[in-house]
Amino acid sequence: MSERFFLATPPGAGHALLEGDEARHLSRVLRAKVGDEVRVFDGSGVEWPATVAAIRRDEVAVDLGEPLQSVEAKLARLTLAVALPKGDRQKWLVEKLTELGVARLLPLVTERGVAEATDSARARMERGVVEACKQCGRNRLMEIAEPLTLEALAAGFPAAVRLIAHPGSATALAGRIGDPDQEILAAVGPEGGFSADEIAAAVAAGFTPVGLGPQILRVETAAIALAARLVMAPE
Amino acid sequence: MSERFFLATPPGAGHALLEGDEARHLSRVLRAKVGDEVRVFDGSGVEWPATVAAIRRDEVAVDLGEPLQSVEAKLARLTLAVALPKGDRQKWLVEKLTELGVARLLPLVTERGVAEATDSARARMERGVVEACKQCGRNRLMEIAEPLTLEALAAGFPAAVRLIAHPGSATALAGRIGDPDQEILAAVGPEGGFSADEIAAAVAAGFTPVGLGPQILRVETAAIALAARLVMAPE
């Protein structure tokens, strides 16, 4: 069974418990039996081969093999601060950024933003992160950070490289920026764009405006394009 | 009225007709009147400011101003040959590749492919291209090419740079490849990956396998990531 299962609770020494939907999916949908081999991860960057040890109502106990260290530590640490789109576009944004290896998605509170990062929206996004991680083989969860305004972000987030997507900017995003171990922070505004005040304040705070080509990209497209260009570090 | 309308029929000298849904959207939903200003494009790379001259049943006649040349000619000519995903993932693929400036999407026929590029699927994708162009300001349509196998593609498509996405490849995609005026061809396989035979044949035909990071990307994610890295040429 090559499917991956998420451990909501970090494992003890050599043992772990699958709970809730993860346990039910394994025991009822896939009809696992004691002795079956699966793979599990706890979102901290490690994966284990595991053997089903016991199947109980709503939980499955597994014995863990040797942990496999993830290669994700080699990737640039990218935080994308995004004025969230709504509905399916938000769901896609989370899935794609998780697949592409973005470290952290920070809901950006902007003048023209449309979607609020309520607690339930953040919980839904966190479930999306787990689902995407299971599917794409990523072992460290993408963090869904607390929402911030651009001002609070500029004051409180000490990234070495700070970029702000702004259509028509003279600076194009050419190749990789910074070293693999530098923190990169990139901000993407709402459908109507950042206001002139927001851009001016960001530039004053050390953000470099970058253009992403001649088309007006949707919010999720701009964020995904930045992730594709900034995370995937050439060796 | 800043909305953009698509001309299914190329304009004559100084005049054009909006037809079908485009005409009905303008006249009935937006309740345009004679004299209103709009913007129109015919998918060949040009946009015109236009003035509504007459509103008839199911068509709107417009007078055209001076054509605005598009900046898209400066972008790398990228053809993405993709083993199409199904449903919403296919729809998203088309929207995002159009926004990112991909020149041509070619449905790739592979051993493990799941979606067929039937005539109705291609017509649906072409409608998706027009919708995305209207929204993102792109004036040249992304072409939906005839489906080909990898073998036929290798034999019949004379691109200067040929890439094939293959998880685990030693070559990472670092920065821009080729000159802005070179044709680039990049192939993306189905969810289950290319077969070993397909990869071997592609390499024999001059394709370079490229990796896109440690995660296993979904088809549409791999295609979008390639587009983000290959189309947006730094000045």
* pLDDT average, residue stretch B213-219: 90
Per-residue pLDDT, averaged over B15-35, amounts to 94
With CA atoms as reference, the chain A residue closest to B175 would be: A175
Cα separations in angstroms, B51 against B46, B54, B61, B192: 16, 9, 9, 51
Q: A235 at the B interface (CB within 8 A)? A: yes
pLDDT band at B168 (very low <50, low <70, confident <90, very high): confident
- pLDDT, tens digit (0-9, with 9 covering 90-100), for A67-121: 987 766 666 789 999 999 999 999 999 999 999 999 999 999 999 988 888 999 9
Which of A68, A90, A188, A232 should we substitute to test contact with B (largest number of B Cβ atoms within 10 Å)?
A232
B214 to A176: CB separation less than 8 angstroms, yes or no:
no
Give the rounded percent of residues in chain B with a pLDDT score beyond 90. Answer: 72
CB contact under 8 A, A232 and B225: yes
Which pLDDT value is given to residue A75? 65
Other beta carbons within 10 angstroms of residue B34's beta carbon come to 11
Q: Which residue from A111, A203, A110 is spatially nearest to A164, judged by alpha carbons?
A: A203
Collect all residues of chain B within an 8 Å Cβ-Cβ radius of residue A233.
172
Residue A157's Cβ-side half-sphere holds a number of Cα atoms within 13 Å equal to: 30
Where do the domains of chain A lie, and which CATH numbers do they carry? Answer: 4-69 (2.40.240.20), 72-230 (3.40.1280.10)
User: Could you give the CA distance from residue A136 to residue A139 in angstroms, rounded to a whole number?
Assistant: 9
pLDDT number for residue B214: 84
User: What is the Cα gyration radius of chain A?
Assistant: 20
Nearest Cα residue in chain A from B97: A221
Question: How many Å lie between the alpha carbon of A127 and the closest alpha carbon of chain B?
Answer: 18
Find the angle CA(B109)-CA(B115)-CA(B118) to the nearest 5 degrees. 80
User: What's the rounded Cα separation, in Å, for the pair A76 and A177?
Assistant: 10
Which residue has tokens 């993830």? A70
Instruction: Output b/e per residue, B57-66; b: 16+ Cβ within 10 A.
Output: eebbbbebee
Please name the residue ranges forming H helices in B77-149. 87-99, 119-136
- The beta strands (E) that lie in chain A are given as 4-6, 15-19, 37-41, 46-56, 59-64, 68-69, 77-82, 104-109, 143-144, 148-149, 161-165, 183-188, 208-210
Query: Taking residues B61-90, what's their average pLDDT?
Result: 87
pLDDT of residue A167: 85
Inform me whether the C-beta atom of residue A36 falls under 8 Å from chain B C-beta atoms.
no
* Beta carbons of A224 and B229 less than 8 Å apart: no
Asked if B152 has any chain A CB less than 8 Å from its own CB, the reply is no
- Helix orientation angle between B87-99 and A219-230, rounded to the nearest 10 degrees: 80
Q: Which residues 41-80 on chain A approach chain B with CB closer than 8 angstroms? A: 70-72, 74-75
Report ipTM for this prediction.
Answer: 0.89
pLDDT in tens, B152-167: 999 888 877 899 999 8
The verdict on a CB contact (< 8 Å) between B224 and A99 is no
Core vs surface per residue A143-171: b (16+ CB within 10 A) or e: ebbebbbbeebbeebebebbbbbbbebee
CB proximity B89 to A under 8 Å: no
Residues of chain A with pLDDT under 50: 233-235
Residue B75, pLDDT score: 65
CB B22 within 8 A of CB B8: yes
pLDDT in tens, B77-116: 899 999 999 999 999 999 999 999 999 999 999 999 888 8
Instruction: Answer with the residue of higher pLDDT: A193 or B2.
Output: A193
* Predicted TM-score of the model (pTM): 0.90
pLDDT for the residue numbered B177: 56
What Rg, from alpha-carbon coordinates, does chain B have? Answer: 20
Q: A97 to chain B: nearest residue by CA?
A: B221
What are the C-alpha distances in Å from A89 to residues A125, A218, A221?
A: 12, 9, 9
Rounded CA-CA distance A46/A6 in Å is 11
CA distances from B145 to A89, A102, B79, B218 (A): 27, 33, 9, 22
- For residue B182, the model assigns a pLDDT of 77
Contact A100 B215 (CB under 8 A): yes
Buried b (16+ CB within 10 A) or exposed e, A69-102: ebebeebbbbbbbbbbbeeebbbbbbbbbbbbbb
Average pLDDT (B15-41) is 94
